[in-house]
Amino acid sequence: MPSSDLMEKVVSLCRKRGFIFQSSEIYGGINGFWDYGPLGVELKKNIKDAWWRDMVRNPPLGPNGQEITMVGLDCSIIMNRKVWEASGHAAGFQDPMCDCKESKKRYRADQLEVFTGHPEMTPPLMYAFIKGDEDSLKAAVKKAEKAARSGGKKFTSAVASVSYMTIANNPDIRATVVGPDVDVPGTLTEARAFNLMFESHAGAIKDDDNLVYLRPETAQGIFANFKNVVDSSRVKVPFGIAQIGKAFRNEVNPRNYTFRSREFEQMEIEFFCHPSESRMWYEYWRDVRKNWYSTLGIKSEKLKPREQTSEELAHYSVGTTDIEYLFPFSDEHQELEGVAHRGAFDLTAHMTKSGQSLLYFDEDAWNRDATGRATNSFVTWMKGNPAAEEIGKYQFIPHVIEPSAGADRFTLAVLCEAYTEDKAPDSSGKMEERLVMKFHPRLAPIKAAIFPLVKKDGMPEKATALYRELKAHFNVQYDDGGAVGRRYRRQDEIGTPFCITIDGDTIKDDTVTIRDRDTLVQRRIPIGSVLTELRTLIG
Ligand code: GAP
């Protein structure tokens, strides 16, 4: 299936079956904001729960087989604005943007590309389109072809494009560019910096003193609480702090469904380690995070870790890997998550701005080296010997490895990956088209559906008892409406991995059938073992 068709089908299914709705749709919607419906909220919650369970409660063992220490946080969305001054977001969290004076549309200037139309036309025009957006490219090529035809030429497009940024500040060249949504040249403005943080005011008075920002990432709340966590939790470096929460960015060009939204959720880890071990931990997290997506059903050929080149890297970083996924809306892989080595950058910035020491004292190392000292307890030693140089040998600013994932982007990847059209037998055994969402059982919104074959002969009573037993443990559905074949189709379409049917034999011998969504195999098992069986199958 062409990928643009697939994207349209996913979007349509999401709306029809209650995964994702446009925010405030009854008022015409609002660009860049989305609501999760009854099934979407379960799917996204399962994703966040899987992340928390696999990364915070039960992370994989470390590179040398050691246990990993991870703790969680839930910080406020609005913080003292000095946090954003220290992090650099207040001054530097900017995208270059340009406006179209004709269409009144605003674009990310670094996401616009331009190509030259027919070179022999006077004047020779350039055409702009949005990078990675097939429709926008097609529209631009169409305009170039039309202009060439009207001048008696033929425009054959082997479109080699350059970034709009390379010409944005040259008014003469800009005057020849036809914008993505207009037919005349010269309507696009130069590129200007645009801060992506949403602003508000805390308190009754709307003045500069009360200016606050909605956080554009969850990470800074973790750095601002580093000392609180170390002092209160007895954690020792290396350890990680994790947070799941909303982030807000006033994106110039929200697009590709939920992929680039203005309100979204992040799942971030800041892992603090000794500078000498930071490369090892960077490689560890890069591999752990990529593997995590595969364990949840993302096919390896669609998943691509892309190591940033040395030119792309921030000056303080020894490495950053973007974990990318091939979404159907683009023929290039797009970022799902960034795993960044951030060095001592963030803690140093907050230490400088706040005036509070965020140095970590390695008490274990001090105790290891204590042989020969009068005491081997740091606290006792401190009381008698507050020698700064000696303490300094054991103090350092931890380096940070940051795996930063988007819950909404992964939800979208899971929806795209799950969408399948295949064939399955109807109730008379005839093969018919079916639409099935092949979610990994851990992520599926509904884990199992319970069907009484008919609404009589004791079957509803048995089915209700089983439903009540299971719903205490899983999200399950009771469905007694229509033929069993139709009930299967309904559950396939929302990705329910298991359907359990109570039939005449159940009444005789207390067995049920359990049907697998993907293989369509049906097995008989004792009704008393359904819960254990589901636990094993779901994981
Ligand atoms: N603390 C680092 C940080 O925030 P980022 O690459 O800007 O890094 C991390 O964001 C992740 O958050 C991205 O990989 C993506 O999954 C998600 N994300 C970022 N901007 C987003 C947006 N506008 N809409 C949806 N998800 C977004």
Cα angle: 395, vertex 217, 82; to 5 degrees: 65
Question: Over pLDDT 70: what percentage of the chain?
Answer: 95
CA 163–ligand 1 middle distance (angstroms): 22
Q: Is the pLDDT of residue 244 over 80?
A: yes
Q: Indicate the top mutation candidate among 409, 411, 412, 414 to test ligand 1's pocket, ranked by most ligand atoms within 8 A of CB.
A: 409
Enter the DSSP assignment of 255: B
Amino acid identity, residue 91? A
> What is the band of 379 on the pLDDT scale with cuts at 50, 70, 90?
low
For 141-196, give the DSSP string.
HHHHHHHHHHTT---------EEGGGTTT-HHHHTTEEPTT-SSBS-B---EEEE-
* Burial class (CB within 10 angstroms; exposed 0-12, middle 13-18, buried 19+) of 18: middle
Q: How far is the CA of 351 from the centre of ligand 1 (A)?
A: 25
**Residue 141 backbone dihedrals phi, psi, to 5 degrees:** -65, -40
How far apart CA 230 and CA 59 sit, in angstroms, is 20
Give pLDDT, residue 252: 83
Q: What is the mean pLDDT of the chain?
A: 92
Q: Of ligand 1's atoms, which has the minimum distance to the CA of residue 404? A: 9
CA torsion 283-60-40-499 (nearest 10°) is 130
* Cβ(89) – ligand 1 distance below 6 Å: no
What local confidence, expressed as pLDDT, does residue 376 receive?
52
> Do 124 and 177 form a contact (C-beta atoms < 8 A)?
no
pLDDT at 382: 59
Tokens representing residue 380 in the block: 């006792």
Q: What is the model's pLDDT at position 374?
A: 47
Count of CB atoms situated within 10 Å of the CB of 476? 22
207-229: average pLDDT: 96
- Torsion angle, alpha carbons of 379, 383, 385, 386, to 10: 90
* β-strand partners of 431: 425
How far does the centroid of ligand 1 lie from the alpha carbon of residue 311, in Å?
21
- Which residue's C-alpha comes closest to atom 19 of ligand 1? 406
Quick one: average pLDDT of 119-127?
A: 84
Q: What is the residue with the minimal CA distance to atom 20 of ligand 1?
A: 260
Q: Evaluate whether 274 touches 399 at the Cβ level (below 8 Å).
A: yes
CA–CA separation, 82 vs 529, rounded Å?
57
Contacts 24+ apart (CB under 8 A), 380-385: none
Kindly state if the Cβ of 263 falls inside 6 Å of ligand 1: no
CA of 259 to the centre of ligand 1 (A): 9
- As given in the structure block, the two tokens for residue 416 are 């795209």
At residue 272, φ and ψ (nearest 5 deg) are -100, 130
Give the position, in ligand 1's atom list, of the atom nearest the Cα of 407. 16
Please give the DSSP secondary-structure letter assigned to residue 100: B
Point out the ligand 1 atom lying closest to the alpha carbon of residue 410. 16
Average pLDDT (184-207) is 93
Residue 2: pLDDT band (50, 70, 90) is low
Output 95 or 50, whichever has higher pLDDT: 50
Contact 36, 20 (CB under 8 A): yes
> What percent of the chain shows pLDDT beyond 90?
77
Q: Is the CB of 492 under 6 A from ligand 1?
A: no
Which atom of ligand 1 is found nearest the CA of 260?
24
- The highest-confidence range among 24-33, 110-119, 156-165, by mean pLDDT, is 24-33
DSSP letter for each residue of 285-347: HHHHHHHHHHHTT--GGGEEEEEPPTTTS-TT-S-EEEEEE--TT-SS-EEEEEEEEEETHHH
For the record, the structure tokens of 205 come out as: 């008075």
231 by DSSP, 3-state: which? helix
For ligand 1, atom 12, name the residue with the nearest CA. 406
**Ligand 1 neighbour 408 (Cβ under 6 A):** yes
First to last CA, the chain: 32
CA dist 191 and 314 (Å) reads 23
217 Cβ inside 6 Å of ligand 1: yes
For atom 18 of ligand 1, which residue has the closest CA? 406
- The answer to whether the CB of 245 is under 6 A from ligand 1 is no
For residue 274, the tally of other CB atoms under 10 A from its CB is 16
Could you tell me if the CB of 215 is within 6 A of ligand 1? no
Contact 216, 236 (CB under 8 A): no
- HSE at residue 86, side-chain half, CA atoms within 13 A, is 22
Task: Please give the pLDDT value at position 370.
Answer: 67
Ligand 1 nearest atom to the CA of residue 254, by list position: 23
Per-residue confidence (pLDDT) for residue 167, from 0 to 100: 94
**pLDDT at res. 503:** 97
- Of 87, 339, 404, the residue with max ligand 1 atoms within 8 A of its CB, to mutate for a pocket test, comes to 404
Q: How far is the CA of 289 from the centre of ligand 1 (A)?
A: 15
Question: Is residue 478 pLDDT above 50, yes or no?
Answer: yes
Residue 442 Cα to ligand 1 middle (Å): 24
Instruction: Assess whether the C-beta atom of 496 lies below 6 angstroms from ligand 1.
Output: no
Stretch 394-416: mean pLDDT: 97
Three-class SS of residue 388?
helix
- What's the pLDDT tens digit per position in 245-278? 999 999 988 989 999 999 999 999 999 999 999 9
- Most confident range (mean pLDDT) of 91-100, 364-373, 377-386 is 91-100
d(CA 43, CA 330): 24
* pLDDT exceeds 80 at position 157: no
Instruction: Please give the DSSP secondary-structure letter assigned to residue 61.
Output: P
The SS3 assignment for 14 reads helix
| Ligand 1 touching residue 404 (CB < 6 A) | yes
What's the whole-number mean pLDDT along residues 134-157?
Answer: 85
Most confident listed range (102-106, 160-164, 368-372, 495-499): 495-499
Q: How far is the CA of 120 from the centre of ligand 1 (A)?
A: 44
Average pLDDT over every residue of 82-111: 90
